[in-house]
Every structure is written in structure tokens, then in C-alpha cells.
Structure 1
């Protein structure tokens, strides 16, 4: 199964790539399940740590929470950047440090 954090980044890039749009962990989780991008045995609580990691990385910020639903906004637009080390194209926020989410190499 693919890296959950990278799969979340892909959904954000494709569906919510605008700092003015808010989105929820529930919306992204539902898309990941529909696309078979994550293990079907995972529940929303299992992926909470990935959303926290993406906030800590500087991609997005938590703007509100209602029980288990978290609302987020991007800090900046997201762009796809190809890593020269691992050859993976990853969505990275324009204001994030230039580090590959797949292999952690500098971009």
C-alpha cells in the first residue's frame, strides 16, 4: 500500500489546491477510501497522525475541529516537484521546505 501521507498530499493537490478553500479530514479520508489509496481496514482515527504531520511540515493548518472532524486550510498553493534522488513527483506547498516527502532528500 502507498505512503498515506503522500496519498493525502495527492488528494489535496487534485481537489483542494487553493489557500482560500477549507477541507476536512473526513472528506480526504472518504476520497482515499473510494480511490483504494489506503488499506480498507483503516478508520479515520488511524490517519489522524498523518494530518498532524502535514500540519507540522507546514503544508496546511488546522482551523477548527468538531469531535473527530478537523477543518484545514493550506498555507500556500501546492505544486508537483520531481525529486532527483528518488525520481518521485510529489505535491509540495510553495511555502514548505524543499524536502522530498518520499525519500527526505533535499530538492
Structure 2
């Protein structure tokens, strides 16, 4: 249902320093890391993180990236306002299933 918004987001991702395009890239980066003995490593699972990201903050972050890098992003004829409306609709209707439980 929200496929057009996903396609719009992908070009934006290259402007986000923490973005990893897929699990393979993430695992490769992990393999190359040397961790000192006094370092504590943490990870957060989808149930603890995803459902706790405030939608307004996420939308604000996307807005800032779109406005800052708009000349380098193909918006496929949409304005930033139109794209933000589509992304907002996706976030409001976003439900996924993980390990048998549904999350919104």
C-alpha cells in the first residue's frame, strides 16, 4: 500500500550517516570492528525501538533531510508537502507482525 513512499525514501537514505541499506552491509561492518575489552555493546530489538519512535519526531527528521537535500533527491514530481502527507499516512496506518505479535 505504501510502496511509492518507500521508493521516495530510498534516495533520501544516502544523506543519513547511520543508514545501512541491508543486513548484509550491517554484518560486514560488524565483522570489521575491533572492540576493546572495556567496551560494552548493546542492541535494541524491533519491539523495544520501533514502536517507541515518536511519529512527529520521525516526520520532522524526514522533513529536515528533504528540505536540506532537495536538489539531490528525485521527488518524482511531488512537492515536499505532498510527500510528507504520504509518509504521514503510511506511519498512521503502519502495522507489522514480529514473532506472532502485531505492532503499530
Q: Which TM-score band applies after superposition, normalised by the shorter structure?
A: 0.3 to 0.5
- For the pair shown, which has the larger CA radius of gyration, 1 or 2? 2
Relative contact order (alpha carbons < 8 A, sep ≥ 6): 1 or 2 greater? 2
Tell me the TM-score normalised to structure 1 length.
0.32
Higher share in helix: 2
Tell me the TM-score normalised to structure 2 length.
0.32
Higher share in strand: 1
